[in-house]
Structure formats: structure tokens, C-alpha cells
Amino acid sequence: MNNDPKARNALRGIVGVVLCAAGLWLSVSVRSRQQHTFRVDAGGCRLLTDIVEPISGEPRGYVVLFHGVAANKRIMSYLTEGFAEQGLRVFVPDLPGHGRTEGPFSFDRTEQCGENLVRDLTSHGLLNPERTILAGHSMGGAIALLVASRQPVAGVIALSPAPMNSIPGIPDEAIPYHGFGTLPPHSLIMFGRWEPSLLSNAARALAPAPGDASNKFVPISRATHVSILFDAQAMLTAQTWATGILQIERQQILPPHRGVIGFLLGLAGIVTLAGGFLREILQDKKQPVPLAESVSAAPRLRTIVEFAVIGLAAVALFHYWIPLRVLHLFEGDYFASLLLVVGVVILALQWNFLRTFLRKNSNTSESARPHYRSLLLAGFAALLLAVLFGAWIDLSFYEAWPTAARLVRFIPFVLAVFPYLLAEELVLGPAIPRKTFARLLTSLFLRLVLLLVIVAGILVLHSGEILPVLLATSFALFSLGQAWGMLVVRRVTASPAAAALFGAILLAGFCLVVFPTT
């Protein structure tokens, strides 16, 4: 085995480039079809909507496809392609506050905008309700069912629909819709067996009564709340349902998964290249020996208790006042407020260490460059990575390129989450190579503590702030990559502030994509 660092770096670079090239080829090689994008007025909602034409020419029917909360029309592309393969014209909007449609977002307004869209398309002769299926995922599935209960359509396909009635053990404030009656005729309900119980119970509550032959309830094996969007069994079930409802020629052609595979390969390639990129930018060429820090990590148990107690106190405060409501992000203002309060209080408790750091006495050996330069370089590296990741995700999988409305929130969000990440860096201590795994695990556990604090706020204080919990898997994957990047920055610069700024920029970019604007 070659232990030469230069050889390993070169090999890592080659692997990263190959993965990126393969991912790009797979993403752009997905068969394209005729597609137009319009901004549909929809009763004043002005929804940016993709209209995907069937490959067979004249449409045999129509599908209006609604995405879920914290998603957008791009992530629905597998379902869109699958319906278009059947000869159906597919309409896929970005709902208010999502993707490239402006806010404000609320569940009630989004439901009304979905209904307005169906009416507007009908009035312009773009779809025939008698030949139209309303489909959706999560929140979009609930919207499809609600609209179909008031607008005459051929049928409904709801994948993992959001809760539409009270569920035992879940406060009503966390339920987006209430008072839903009976299923509209010809409704297909699907859910993944690997979904959280909150969502699977919501789907089970909609199961048709015994003897109801018009509607159908289908659990999808080995599917999660997100993977059901790309599940072959779910797609085939939806195609079969559409074929029967619209009485069209049976045609089941699964769209390729090349786009998803390409996205994952490209993402792996960028991650592979990111470590070397960070070290190249941040390494001080005049300081060949890695910087050492004379400080140590805070006691782990005490740190966990402090984060939990301060977090619980913060959510109790938020029952009366949320400091960052001015951000106008649906539940993102609550999340940012929690990080701000916990971060400021932990920094106050760590004041002696913070004062030492500000006096530049935290390093056993002084750096050849001032701390402000490490901050600038870490911020620059974070911005480049945020742009690179955002551009790739937007190109291949999900509309991740921020709109102007989201960009104006960027700096305030960075400033809000910076204290928490700085506090986290101070209590975690130096990035010692032999303790890398333990450090990453502690960082992720501290964030899990805050997630449990949010859950406690939902169950005890009835905060209704359910979205960070629903996004827990996405946050976990992001946090793993972010924490690893912060560790690299800390190890190279020996600066807690540089690592915190790097992490704050990445977190702001992530949150401003997933939280809807209000």
C-alpha cells in the first residue's frame, strides 16, 4: 500500500473527477421530452408550473402533480416522467414559498392555490376534469384529496399524504389539515412501510372502508417517505391505477433511474474532492507543521446537560416570543431562534475560554497569518462549496438555487446560527486526528439533543413546529457532511471561529432551500 500523501491525494482527485464526470453524463443523458414552464396566475397565486407533454403527441389524459412541504417540482421528476410515458400531459407547480414560486406559504393558502390552479387550467382548456387525475406526495397528497373532494375529477393518487385529521398522541397544532371527510371516488392511497409512524398512521387513517371498491390502499415495501417518490413498485401501482381510471391502453414503462444515480455519483465526487480543496485553500504555506491548540474539550456529560437544559428553556420562551420571526421562514425562524439562544448562552458560560481565544492565546504556536485571514478563507471556501453543491443539486435532482427572496435572508441567517456553531466548536475542543470519530459523534449527538428539545416543545408546549422533525433525515445527512467539513477547517486553521463561520454559511444555504418562505 502506498503511504505517500501526494499519491493518495492524486488518487483521491482522480476518483472524485471520475465520479463527477459519470454523474454528469448520467444526469444529462436522461431522455428529454417536450416541456414548457409557465407562471400560472391561479387566482393570484402565480405558481411557476412545468407542463410536460406526452411523448405520443395528443394527450390521453391529464395529471396535476403536487409536491410536499419543503420540496419543489424538480423532485417529482420520476413520477412526472412515469405519467408522461403513459401518454398523459403532466402539470407540476412549485407551490407558494417553494422552489421558484414566491410566498407567502401557509397550509391553507397552498391548498387554495392548488384548487385555483386546477380551475385556471380547466378554464383555459388545458385539461379536461373528466380525464384528469390529481396526484401528490405528503402535503401534496393531502391537497390532491382535498381539491378532489370539491372539484370533479377522474381520480386521485396520494403518496404518503400528510395528516388530515387528528391522530392520537400528536397535538392538533402539528396536524396541517383537519376535518377531512370521506375519500373522493377513485382514490389510491400509498405509503412506505419504512415511514415514521406519524405519517404511516395518517395514511392508514384514510384507508377505505370495507366494501369500498372505488378506492384502494396500498403499502409499499421497503419505501421511506422520500424514496417512495422514486420507487418502481409505487410507480407501477400509480400507472396501473391511471390506466384503469382513464380507460386508456395499458402501457407501463418505468422511467430510468439514471438521474438519481447520476445525482448520487456526482455528489460523492464533490465530497471526495472537497477535503483536498479545503486543505489547499486553508493551508498556510509558511506553516508546514500543523497548528496545535493548547485547549481541551469540555466535559462531555456536562455539555450535553447544558445544551438540553438551555434548549428546553428556549422552547419555553418561544411559547410567548420567537426572536427571529422577522426571517419569515416557515418554522425556519423557530429553528434559527433556538440555535441563536442556545449558542449565546453557551458562549456566556464559556466566556473565560472565549476571552482567551480572542486574545489569541489558544495556540501553543502562533500562526504565520492573523486570525481574520483564516476567517476570510474559511468563509470563501464555504461560499464556493455552497455554490458548487447547490448548482449540482439544482442541475440533477432538486431546485436548490436560491431565489432573490431567499438570498436576502442569507446574511441574517448566518449571523443567527454562528453563535451556536462557535459554542459547539469551543466545547468540542481541538480537532485531534486520533479522536475524529468521537468528535463527529459528539457533534451529531448535541444536535440530536436539540431535535429532541423541539419534539418536547411539540408534545408538551403544543408548539406545532413539526417541520424540523419531518426533515430529521435530511438534517442528519447534511450535519454529517457539515461537521466533517468543519473538522477539516478546524484541523488546518486551529481556529474555532473559522470552523464555525464555515459551518454557518453551509447551514444557511441548506436551510434557505428547505424551509418555505412566509
> What are the pLDDT digits (tens) for 231-262?
999 999 999 999 999 998 877 788 888 889 99
3-state secondary structure of 226: coil
Closest CA to 78 of 241, 263, 238, 229: 229
User: What one-character DSSP code corresponds to residue 37?
Assistant: E
Residue 79, pLDDT > 60, answer yes
* H helices present in 283-326, as ranges: 300-318
Per-residue model confidence (pLDDT) at position 350: 79
Nine cell digits for residue 85: 410515458
Element (H, E) at 437: helix 436-460
Element (H, E) at 217: strand 216-220
Higher pLDDT, 425 or 201: 425
Residue 202, pLDDT > 90, answer no
Q: What percent of the chain shows pLDDT beyond 70?
A: 92
User: What is the pTM (predicted TM-score) of this model?
Assistant: 0.93
3-state secondary structure of 158: strand
Nine cell digits for residue 62: 391529464
Per-residue model confidence (pLDDT) at position 237: 96
Nine cell digits for residue 13: 482527485
Phi, psi of 273 (to 5 degrees): -80, -20
Band of pLDDT at residue 361, cut at 50, 70 and 90: very low
Per-residue model confidence (pLDDT) at position 292: 60
Which residue type is seen at 182? Answer: T
Cα angle: 407, vertex 408, 414; to 5 degrees: 80
Band of pLDDT at residue 410, cut at 50, 70 and 90: very high
Per-residue model confidence (pLDDT) at position 253: 81
Burial class (CB in 10 A: 0-12, 13-18, 19+), 404: exposed
Average of per-residue pLDDT across 87-93 = 95
Give bridge partners of residue 132 from the DSSP assignment: 62
Average of per-residue pLDDT across 345-360 = 75
Element (H, E) at 136: strand 132-137
Instruction: Give the distance, in angstroms, between the CA of residue 404 and the centroid of all CA atoms in the same chain.
Output: 19
Closest CA to 69 of 166, 149, 176: 176
**Helix, strand, coil % (nearest 5) of the chain?**
55, 10, 35
What's the CA gap between 96 and 117, in Å, rounded?
12
Element (H, E) at 143: helix 139-148
Q: What does pLDDT average to over the chain?
A: 89
Instruction: Give the architecture-level CATH label for domain 31-255.
Output: 3-Layer(aba) Sandwich (3.40)
Instruction: Decide if 378 contacts 495 (C-beta within 8 A).
Output: yes
- Of 175-179, 396-400, 490-494, 500-504, which one has max mean pLDDT? 500-504
3-state secondary structure of 359: coil
Nine cell digits for residue 161: 399524504
Per-residue model confidence (pLDDT) at position 6: 73
Q: Which of 26-35, 141-150, 310-319, 454-463 has the lowest mean pLDDT?
A: 26-35
Per-residue model confidence (pLDDT) at position 362: 45
What's the CA gap between 449 and 466, in Å, rounded?
16
Residue 90, pLDDT > 60, answer yes
* H helices present in 461-514, as ranges: 467-470, 472-493, 496-514
What's the CA gap between 373 and 383, in Å, rounded?
15
Average of per-residue pLDDT across 219-241 = 95
Closest CA to 52 of 81, 95, 86, 9: 81
3-state secondary structure of 45: coil
441's CB contacts (< 8 A; 6+ apart) are none
Burial class (CB in 10 A: 0-12, 13-18, 19+), 137: buried
For the chain, domain boundaries: 31-255, 283-514
Instruction: Decide if 124 contacts 152 (C-beta within 8 A).
Output: no
Residue 71, pLDDT > 80, answer yes
Per-residue model confidence (pLDDT) at position 359: 63
246's CB contacts (< 8 A; 6+ apart) are 60, 61, 88, 131, 133, 154, 155
Residue 364, pLDDT > 70, answer no
What's the CA gap between 374 and 306, in Å, rounded?
29
Residue 32, pLDDT > 80, answer no
Higher pLDDT, 256 or 479: 479
What's the CA gap between 315 and 326, in Å, rounded?
17
What's the CA gap between 506 and 387, in Å, rounded?
10
Band of pLDDT at residue 69, cut at 50, 70 and 90: very high
